[in-house]
Structure formats: structure tokens, C-alpha cells
Structure 1
């Protein structure tokens, strides 16, 4: 089971929506996206509706820790308006170090009619975690315990029913500037899709080829970088970084994209690599079209999910 962790910015949501019929639905037994909504938007609602209409399981987080979408009433209003009569989803709760569990349960009970089951995202450790979970389980079924490996202790996952354990980590090797990727070319990502069952999990989650770091606002970069996941000869996931060359200022972003895209297409031609995203990149290359930086992130996301689902 693969659970891609999506921050609900516009282009990430569009990427999930665009994958639903072609990639997610045919693989519905092995994929369940986690969506942390960051903004109350029509794109969020249409994405949830698309998942529901194609019977693709997902988790929608009710207490996001990033972004501006923090009003619990509005979040549940978005859920109610999107899911219809479906029960093939989970409401997610992030366990962070400032959460007041009695208050969280009280709020969840208020909306119990649209909570078929829960996903708990463990972003902090609690010594009495089993007692805490019992409080939630008095009212709700916990389907998944998603354990953030970088935020919990080494054996923390042993506290949870093995049939609910999902491992989560950030495997993207982020650089401070896009131009720094010129020195990297490619980086290791993960091999969790190979070993997660051996390590006692029923699934694994990652922040895709985007990374966990979240920024509310965008800015014009000096360099344009396209991050493309692929599998090496051992089926380990790596990421190629295709970067523009003329990076002295923030002018001519379209030209910088063309430079990065030239490198991507040449590599795909050389290796015969393809995915759901590559024909779209090829169309932009053929037409000399720059679709905007948000679309690059969307295509990177689509490529990554497509790749992982092929590997498992």
C-alpha cells in the first residue's frame, strides 16, 4: 500500500485529480493518498469528488499544520460537500506535541456523521500512546497509524496494530537553491517500496519528489529545476535533477525551463524512460511551450506516483 502525502496546494491537487481515472483507479487496491488541505478552494472539493466518484480511498486531514486552512468547521464543510454517501475515506488527525486529545475528540464527535474511520499521523511521540488511542477508539475506528519516522523514536511503530502501520518519511534531498542541483545531477530517494513489509508495515508514505518543506508563497527562481523520479537497475528509486544553465538572474523563466526540458528529453530518449508525465513534457518540448512553474511540480508528482505504483 502506497500513501503519497500531498500538501493541498492547487497544482498538487490538480495532479492527483488528473491521475485519478488513469492511474489511481486502476491501482485502487494499492494506493490511498493523504491530503493535508492548506486552503479552502474549489480545487480541493473537485479533487475529493473525483476520488470519490472513482472509488479511490484517501485520507483528508482535519487539523492541517501548514497553510492557512485552519478553520475546522470549514474543513468539515468541504468534506461534507464532496463525499456524498461514500464511506471509502478516512479523516486524518495529526498528533503533534501541542495537541489536546480530549478537545480533539470532542470536535471529532461533533462531525462523527462524516467520519467513517480515522487515520492518525504520528508527528510526535507520547509515552502513554496506547491509552490515548483507546480514548479515540471509544468513538472511532482507526484504520491507519501513519508513523513519521523522522519525528518519532526508532521502535515507536511497535505500539500499533501491525495491520494499521504505515511508515512516512521525507526522502527528497533538498538543496537550498535550484542551481545547487547542477552539482548533484541525481540523488538517492528510497527503497522503502521493497522493504516496508519486512520492517513490519502494511504500507509506506512519502512526500514524493517535492519534499516535506512547505512554503506558502512562491517566488521567481534564478534557476529552473525539474525533478524526475526513476528506478535504477535494482528497482531503488532515484531522482534526476534537470537544471537550467543560464541562472544569473530571474529573467526569462520560460527560457530556463526550455534548457532544463532539453536535458530531460535527451535523458528520456537515451534511457527509454517513460511515465504518465513524459508525453506531456514531450508535447511542451515539441511546441516550445512554458506551462508555468506550478505545472512542473504537478508533472513531477504525477511521474512519481505512476512510478511507485508500477514498482509495487
Structure 2
């Protein structure tokens, strides 16, 4: 049903690990593009998913990060640690520079294991579909709007991914913005499931510069608006200099607490919200990576609760 797209930075992998029970109970399937040479964090996250009975699709040819030149170490890791697992499966990222022959070579290299195909700019979809045993494959389309491209794969399981997170400078965010309605509309748009890039977005960078403004991103579903999802951007007031990130976090967190404490709030009281409450009580700044992790965990729990009650 829900295929959240992660890149394997530390805070994203920790969010997966700490949300493994939620992911398993909801039947979610993370798609993970490993971007770090050290795969210990990935290994711990996958072990936790397997422990809870969840699965994941791991991209063997990442577009970004340390493995973009060669995914051989990822293939070796998957075979060594999850070679007999039906839950942890290989995935192939199809990009604009690839040809059908290259894709088929990669598919065939996994033998009896059927990889998930992640379409991210590939142009030869119609020809590729003619070479595949489409009935048994899952296709993840990173552009949910491209209906014509995915038509040749209609006999397959089709997952529509949409980036609901509009990336801006933190100081430029409005207080609340529309995020997505794909969790409600994916079936009528021709999908068998859906995904997003969580509250990180599709943009990839190796590391950010100093934060002039701190923003905490928190999603919520609005029942009075046909269950569409929106995102709050709780911003710091000070944004002129890159100093005092802890103080800026405190300003943003105070706004978050005011919103979630409102009796009419539509923000789900997730475990992440409780952690934000604890940080506020202790006046503690855990670092921006930790804050992003909490934002991701909240997003996962919000969608899990929505589908549990749909």
C-alpha cells in the first residue's frame, strides 16, 4: 500500500529502525536508496524490520551518495545477509541514461529473485514492458503524474510516488501548506499503492550549511478537507544569522507545542509528538538530524493511523 522512499542517511535509517513495529503493523514497504559506504546502519534497520515481520526494497544501483559508481558491495551485502529472505528484496533504479538491455541484464542478474523496478527518469518504458514478466513485478513510479508512461505496465503492481514536500529556505515556508492527497486518490489514479519522500523531499544533498532559520515539519490529515494531508512548518523567529541553533529550535518548538496542545488540533498525538513535548519540558536541543528523524516518525505514524481507521 504505502511505499515511503528513504535515502540511507543516518537519521532516516534510525527512523526506520525505531518505526519498524509501526511499519510492520501497517503493511508498509520502505524503498531505501543507500547513500553511505558504511552499511551498518542499514543492516541494523533491516534486521529490525525483519524482526517485526516487515519488508523493504533496497536499491542496488543508487543515483546518489557513496555507491553511485558501483553497487557491488550492496549486492554482496544483500546476498550475504538477506539472500534467502522474501521480505528484503533488491530494487533497480531506472534512470534517464539507461537502456533496455542494461535493465534486463540487471534483472537477470538476480536469478529467481524478482526485483522491484523504480522508475526515475527512464524513457523506454514501452519497450521494457515487452521484455518483462509483468504479472509478477512491482513497479514504483517516482513521478505519479506521468500516466502515459506507466500504461504499458498495467498488468503489474504499480506504485505511484509523489513529492509532497516543497523545498524552500526555512525562513520562506508558510505556516501550513498542502502536502498530498495521494493516500486517498492513488486507486482512482491507477495505482495499487502510493509513496512519497516523507518530510525530507526528493532533493538530495551531502550536507547542509548553517541554519539561519530552524523549521520543524509536521504533517496532519484533515478530515474536514476530504482527508487531504497538510504540513505545518514551525519556524524560528530569528533568521538573520547562523548562530544559536538551540535557541532557534526552542522558538520553533514552542509554536509546535502551542499547536498540538490546542483542543481542536488535527495533529495526531504520535510517539514523535510526545518526544517533542519531552524536549520542550527539558528545554533540550537534540540536533537537527534528530528533529528530522522525529518528523519522519510522526509522518509514518500519521499514515498508519489513517489506514487503520479508513
TM-score, normalised via structure 2 length: 0.90
Q: Aligned equivalents of 2:31 and 2:95: distance in 1?
A: 17
- SS in structure 1 of the partner of residue 65 of structure 2: coil
Equivalent residue for 1:264, pick from 256, 264, 267: 256
Taking structure 1 as reference, are residues 146 and 84 closer, same or farther at Cα in structure 2, changes over 3 Å only? closer
Taking structure 1 as reference, are residues 260 and 81 closer, same or farther at Cα in structure 2, changes over 3 Å only? farther
Q: Tell me, yes or no, if the aligned pair for 1:121 and 1:146 is still in contact at 8 Å.
A: yes
Taking structure 1 as reference, are residues 61 and 167 closer, same or farther at Cα in structure 2, changes over 3 Å only? same
- Cross-structure match for 2:86: 87
Deviations 1:189-240 (A, max 9, x none): 1111111111221101111111111111222210100000001223110000
Taking structure 1 as reference, are residues 269 and 162 closer, same or farther at Cα in structure 2, changes over 3 Å only? farther
- SS in structure 1 of the partner of residue 256 of structure 2: helix
- Cross-structure match for 2:277: 282
Deviations 1:234-259 (A, max 9, x none): 31100000011112211111111111
Equivalent residue for 2:228, pick from 232, 236, 243: 236
- Cross-structure match for 2:42: 44
Unaligned 5+ segments in structure 1 are: none
Deviations 1:169-201 (A, max 9, x none): 2111221x11112xx101001111111111221
What's the CA shift for 1:25? 1.8
- SS in structure 1 of the partner of residue 3 of structure 2: strand
Taking structure 1 as reference, are residues 50 and 134 closer, same or farther at Cα in structure 2, changes over 3 Å only? farther
Asked if residue 106 in structure 1 is aligned to residue 105 in structure 2, the reply is yes
Q: Tell me, yes or no, if the aligned pair for 1:162 and 1:200 is still in contact at 8 Å.
A: no
- Cross-structure match for 1:133: 129
- Cross-structure match for 1:167: 160
- SS in structure 2 of the partner of residue 149 of structure 1: coil
TM-score, normalised via structure 1 length: 0.89
Q: Aligned equivalents of 1:144 and 1:110: distance in 2?
A: 17
Deviation larger for 219-228 or 77-86: 77-86
- Cross-structure match for 2:244: 252
Q: Tell me, yes or no, if the aligned pair for 2:93 and 2:117 is still in contact at 8 Å.
A: yes
Stretches of 4+ aligned residues off by more than 6 angstroms? none
Q: Aligned equivalents of 1:310 and 1:117: distance in 2?
A: 31
- SS in structure 2 of the partner of residue 171 of structure 1: coil
Q: Aligned equivalents of 2:270 and 2:156: distance in 1?
A: 31
Equivalent residue for 2:213, pick from 188, 206, 223: 223
Deviations 1:246-293 (A, max 9, x none): 122111111111110010011000145311210111111111111101
Asked if residue 191 in structure 1 is aligned to residue 159 in structure 2, the reply is no
Q: Tell me, yes or no, if the aligned pair for 2:135 and 2:155 is still in contact at 8 Å.
A: no
Q: Aligned equivalents of 1:284 and 1:120: distance in 2?
A: 40
Q: Tell me, yes or no, if the aligned pair for 1:179 and 1:243 is still in contact at 8 Å.
A: yes
- Cross-structure match for 2:114: 117
Unaligned 5+ segments in structure 2 are: none
Aligned length: 300
What's the CA shift for 1:130? 3.9
